[in-house]
């Protein structure tokens, strides 16, 4: 199964955990935690809030270290949701 990278949160996901478009088809750009039925699950989330959220997750979850969270945060501006090239 191909591993994809969510273009919102940066986490790896598979087609089994892919987001969905309005027509309920798979959206392979985003995971289901970030994107459902053609919209972001947290529309008001900004890049800074996501960074804080990732650091908080690293503090409480054993599956992500602080170093991993910091590396992920560095890559967030390159992801589709956060790139500024569409402005």
Q: Name the DSSP class of 17.
A: G
Strands (E), 1-87: 4-5, 12-13, 18-20, 26-31, 35-36, 39-40
pLDDT given at position 3? 87
Q: Name the DSSP class of 24.
A: S
pLDDT given at position 63? 81
Q: Nearest-CA neighbor of 10 among 65, 68, 84, 62?
A: 68
- What are the residues whose beta carbons fall under 8 Å from the beta carbon of 1, sequence distance 6 or more? 14, 15, 16
- 12 vs 25: CA distance, rounded Å: 19
Can you give the pLDDT of all 87 residues of the chain as single tens digits? 788 999 999 999 999 999 999 999 999 999 999 999 999 999 999 999 999 999 998 898 888 889 999 999 999 999 999 997 655
pLDDT given at position 87? 53
pLDDT given at position 2? 80
């Amino acid at each position: 199964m191909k591993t994809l990278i969510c273009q919102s949160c940066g986490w790896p996901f598979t087609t089994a955990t892919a987001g969905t478009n309005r027509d309920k088809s798979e959206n392979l750009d985003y995971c289901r935690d970030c994107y459902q039925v053609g919209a972001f699950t947290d529309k008001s989330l900004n890049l800074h809030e996501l960074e804080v959220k990732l650091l908080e997750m690293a503090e409480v979850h054993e599956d992500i270290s602080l170093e991993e969270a910091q590396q992920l945060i560095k890559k967030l501006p390159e992801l589709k949701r956060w790139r500024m090239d569409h402005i």
